[in-house]
Amino acid sequence: MQEPISAITLSQHIVASMPPRARGVFTRIMMELQYCVHMLSTMIKSGGLSDNILGFTGEVNVQEEEVKTLDRLANEILVTRLANSGLFAAIASEELESIVPGSPEADYVIAMDPLDGSSNIDVNVSIGTIFSIKRKISAGGGPEDFFQPAKDQVCAGYVIYSSRTELVIALPGKEVPLFVLDPLTGQFVLDRVLQPRKDAKYYSLNEAYWDKLDENVQEWVRWLRNEPTPFGGKARSARYIGSLVADFHRNLLEGGVFAYPHQKGKKSGKLRLLYEAQPMAMIQSCLSGRASTGWEDLMDLVPTELHQRVPLIVGTSPEVEKYEELLRR
């Protein structure tokens, strides 16, 4: 990482990566997100010492999950700031049943999981924020703007709140930079540009559901554990944190595959297509990996509901393709 004096900030990096005729909208979008994330990161790192951000609110959200105080705070900060920023025609959030209108004349819409990994908040384990930005195709912002395949995202990214607060973003056909939040300035600065990892060191899956998995999926897990990787690597080791952002981040940096499969006799999954699966699919494919439901490529799957759930298998290509091959058998 560069000395603070010569560090490349997020806004400098975005400006440099935009075409000369760009109007600066994307830079402003990233600045709004940075503002919200800096606030959230400070709250999370103060860990309830200043104000009580731990525990539950007593409410149940559209996912029928008990709402954590930090879930609600993260949702309020992000939705309120972004809806009033003039940059989005509509906002979709994991915490809200329907979309929130923004500025009808704006060119983009954003879908997000304001706080991923809520079950890990009170135990001080890494959590995150996930977002997906698409171009508005309707007149003034509506559900149809969100029902576009992952390959049509104009930007996807996530923030991981851990020992460092890091931001990873993917822009179409572009590199995938990783930024670190400088608590001193509240600015994200460029740490490095991520490189594709072909070899899988890890697999991440909640094995507590073993008996609910299809035989083909069980066979896939046995293959992950026992078969050396095609690149001459050893067999893969298991890692599972229970926050998608944290499990995906480790595997993206070190090489690996994350799986939240369908359960026996079902085709859906737990994770949400719009603001969990699609963003991770785009980031992984920009680093020559793959994302699949097992049956469909997640870069092509067209959403039909705001909170649609899908199986998610995402990571290094050989591991995802083996999953699809076994499922087809």
Q: Give residues in contact with ligand AFP (CB under 6 A).
A: 65, 116-119, 206, 242-244, 260, 270-271
Query: Closer to ligand AFP at the Cβ: 32 or 116?
Result: 116
Nearest CA to 42 out of 7, 13, 74 is that of 74
Taking the CB of residue 137, how many other CB atoms lie within 10 A of it?
Answer: 14
Query: Closer to ligand AFP at the Cβ: 117 or 157?
Result: 117
Answer whether 161's CB lies under 8 Å from 150's CB: no
Query: What does the block give as tokens for 176?
Result: 């995938």
Order of strands across the sheet that contains 108-116: 100-101, 88-93, 108-116, 127-135, 153-161, 165-170, 177-182, 187-193
Angle between helices 278-286 and 244-254 (to 10 degrees): 10
Smallest distance, ligand AFP to C-beta of residue 272, A: 8
Query: Closer to ligand AFP at the Cβ: 114 or 149?
Result: 114
Smallest distance, ligand AFP to C-beta of residue 199, A: 23
- Rounded Cα distance, 116 and 139, in Å: 31
Query: Closer to ligand AFP at the Cβ: 102 or 311?
Result: 311
Query: Closer to ligand AFP at the Cβ: 45 or 270?
Result: 270
Torsion sign (Cα): 138, 142, 148, 154: positive
Smallest distance, ligand AFP to C-beta of residue 209, A: 7
Smallest distance, ligand AFP to C-beta of residue 118, A: 4
Smallest distance, ligand AFP to C-beta of residue 169, A: 19
Query: Closer to ligand AFP at the Cβ: 89 or 271?
Result: 271
Phi, psi angles (nearest 5°) of residue 151 = -65, -15
Smallest distance, ligand AFP to C-beta of residue 65, A: 5
Nearest CA to 134 out of 149, 121, 122, 116 is that of 149
